[in-house]
Amino acid sequence: MLLASNPNLRSLTLSALPIDDDGGGNPRLQLPLHHLEHISLSGTFHHVFPIIHRLELPEGVDSGEITLHDCTPQGVLEVIGPYIRDYLRRDPRFRDSLGMFVSSTSNCISFHASVAGVGCCGPNQLPQHGPPCGTFRAVLSQPILRHVAKILCTDVLALLPQESIVGFETDLSVTEEVVVAMPNLKVLHLVSPVVSDRFLLPDPDGPNVYKKLLPSLRRLYLEDVEAVDYNWDPLVSYLIRQTPGGRAISLNVFGEGVHICLEVIERIEGLVEELVYVPDPDGLCPLDICP
């Protein structure tokens, strides 16, 4: 076997390798690669998933990347989601410091897991993440509506050990159901969020109305953020709700099209521990009017 004759390999890439699968009777595959640090697998769902389902990786592997093509939404939810969940639960290093990046397009969803750090790296970066880390991409066989892809992403996220997540970056529309399941979240990075009514706040008629949805949050990043009708009051309301009973959070606002008028900035500065505001020079309100 080729792999057996190269036991000192540190990086391994396998692409489009079919494997005979009889539905569960095949033994586990063990790689005799004790120095392996990175493994990458890519190909169609039908060919690759039987490999990763049976694969036993050496303990030293700190980085993995799996890309599956021709996936169906049902396969993503029922097969890939549980596999990612089991992958995260197997490694104790993820248990108390899991960092997750989740994104979607009309034909691809992506989950990246790593061990999250605790420090701040700058106005447009999350804290440092380190190994072990794993990236899982599912390319759908047929494009679906963008909002449906995001719902699928959210459904898979619900399968994961969300209580272990301390850092979360996403371009999803973050709902109450998503954030309430992450009580230990310290860093939240939202890409292209829209500030609107009840932004990061519970439904006033729901079961969490008296709860702080993100009790452990320490830093909030808003990248390429926009506000409905240039009204930033929902963000101010969230910061007012977040502060009592705990330490004020730090807020980073930056990106394309971002502009908040001086009056609102002054209100925000009084509600946060630290504000890093990097406006887009071209991101001005119409007629320079802010409500």
- Same structural domain, 199 and 268: yes
- Same structural domain, 45 and 90: no
Q: Output phi, psi for 273, to 5 deg.
A: -70, -40
pLDDT for 123 equals 47
- Same structural domain, 289 and 196: yes
Q: Where are the beta strands (DSSP E) in the chain?
A: 11-15, 29-30, 38-44, 55-56, 63-71, 98-104, 108-116, 129-140, 165-170, 187-191, 194-195, 219-223, 226-227, 250-254, 274-278
- Same structural domain, 106 and 25: no
Please indicate whether residue 63 or residue 25 has the higher confidence score (pLDDT). 63
Average pLDDT, the chain: 83
Residue pLDDT, tens place only, 114-136: 988 745 455 445 556 678 889 99
Residue pLDDT, tens place only, 244-262: 666 789 999 999 989 999 9
Please indicate whether residue 19 or residue 105 has the higher confidence score (pLDDT). 105
- Same structural domain, 218 and 290: yes
- Give the domain-ending residue among 140, 162, 184: 162
10 Å Cβ neighbour count for 266? Answer: 10
In a domain, 253, yes or no: yes
- Give the domain-ending residue among 18, 46, 64: 64
Furthest-apart CA atoms within the chain: distance in Å:
70
In a domain, 2, yes or no: no
Which structural domain range is residue 59 located in?
A: 8-64
In a domain, 129, yes or no: yes
- Same structural domain, 149 and 197: no
- Same structural domain, 196 and 146: no
In a domain, 38, yes or no: yes
Residue pLDDT, tens place only, 20-34: 554 455 556 566 556
In a domain, 167, yes or no: no
Say whether 274 sits in a helix, a strand or coil: strand
Q: What number of CA atoms fall less than 13 Å from residue 99's CA on the CB side?
A: 20
- Same structural domain, 29 and 84: no
CA–CA gap between residue 194 and residue 260 (Å, rounded)? 14
- Structure-token match 């459904």, residue found: 155
- Structure-token match 């029922």, residue found: 78
Mean pLDDT of 49-74: 81
CA–CA gap between residue 277 and residue 291 (Å, rounded)? 19
Q: Output the DSSP codes for 63-115.
A: EEEEEEEEE-HHHIIIIIHHHHHHHHHH-GGGSS-EEEEEEE-SSEEEEEEEE
- Same structural domain, 286 and 212: yes
What whole-number percentage of the chain has pLDDT above 70? Answer: 80
In a domain, 168, yes or no: no
- Same structural domain, 118 and 199: no
In a domain, 3, yes or no: no
Counted domains in the chain: 3
Residue pLDDT, tens place only, 151-205: 999 999 999 999 999 999 999 988 888 889 999 999 999 999 999 998 999 999 9
- Same structural domain, 271 and 287: yes
| Low-confidence winner among 4-13, 111-120, 126-135, 217-226 (lowest mean pLDDT) | 4-13
- Same structural domain, 59 and 83: no
Mean pLDDT of 11-20: 67
* ω into 132 cis (within 30 of 0): yes
CA–CA gap between residue 98 and residue 187 (Å, rounded)? 11
pLDDT for 6 equals 63
